[in-house]
Structure 1
Amino acid sequence: MTPPSEVRVQLARMEEARRETQRQLDLIDRQIMRHMTVLIPRRQPKRTGYRHGKPPDPNAFLERYRSHLAALTAERQPEVDALSRRLAHQDQAIAVLRVRHGLVLPRVA
């Protein structure tokens, strides 16, 4: 049987590891958004006016933005998936440890 103080130390370590994994996921999200923020001025529609009698397409900018965002997200997707799986495993391990040692937090209704 593990002493209660060792269980609490182990739980604290597991929770800190979980927070670090969450920070890494948040960092990836911020990096993608920062990159997109830098690219927005470059993606603005050119102010050329009408060409060959056709008005500028108002949805073109949004389509270019979405496609670039999808490309950046797809590039980082394997890393995000791995971190998400790790986070799920950590959540499950923390829950099992809490239940096993009677450290279940009371539910807030």
Structure 2
Amino acid sequence: MSSAIYAAQLVRMEAARRQTQHQLDLIDRQITRKMTALIPLIGRRQAGFHRGKAPQPGAFLERYRANLAALTAERQPEVDALTRKLARQDAAIAALLARRGPSADQASLGAAPGGERT
């Protein structure tokens, strides 16, 4: 294969990998946004405080962790699928670079070590 074909294929593969990583980051931000919106609702459960009882010190943290676990479990199949896809894409990029040769891939394609473009 010519250098231009390798370069074009590498660019396409890296763009697909960036898109998959973006999807994973988007899911993480969505979970964070939902948890941020839930914090005021989680903290209001202190009915006993008004009757002379002190609030339980770890109750808020327990409720926060339970809600976070529920939101994460809800999206876990999607995260797992995207993580597997990302690993396959990393392997495909590494295989392409290995076929090209250790010195030619970075010199002719302008890539920095680690597969990132400069």
For the aligned pair, the TM-score class normalised by the smaller chain equals: 0.7 to 0.9
Which residue does 1:57 correspond to in 2?
A: 56
Structure 1, unmatched stretches of 5+, are none
Q: Which moved more, 1:35-44 or 1:95-104?
A: 95-104
For the aligned residue pairs, the C-alpha RMSD in angstroms reads: 1.7
Task: Return the TM-score normalized by structure 1.
Answer: 0.88
Q: Percent identity?
A: 61
Aligned residues between the structures: 105
Aligned to 1:23: 22
In structure 2, stretches of 5+ residues that fail to align are: 107-111
> Residues 3-30 of structure 1, C-alpha deviation per residue, up to 9 Å, x if partnerless?
1101100000000000000000000000
Q: TM-score, normalised by structure 2?
A: 0.82
Contact 1:50 1:56 in 2 (8 A): no
- Whether contact under 8 Å (1:18, 1:87) holds in the other structure is yes
The structure with the greater share of residues assigned to helix is 2
Contact 1:43 1:65 in 2 (8 A): yes
Which of 1 and 2 has higher RCO (CA within 8 Å, sep 6+)?
A: 1
Please state whether the residue corresponding to 2:16 is helix, strand or coil.
Answer: helix
Q: Paired residue for 1:37? A: 36
1:1-109 alignment runs, 5 A limit: 2-48=1-47, 49=49, 51=51, 54-102=53-101, 103=105, 106=113
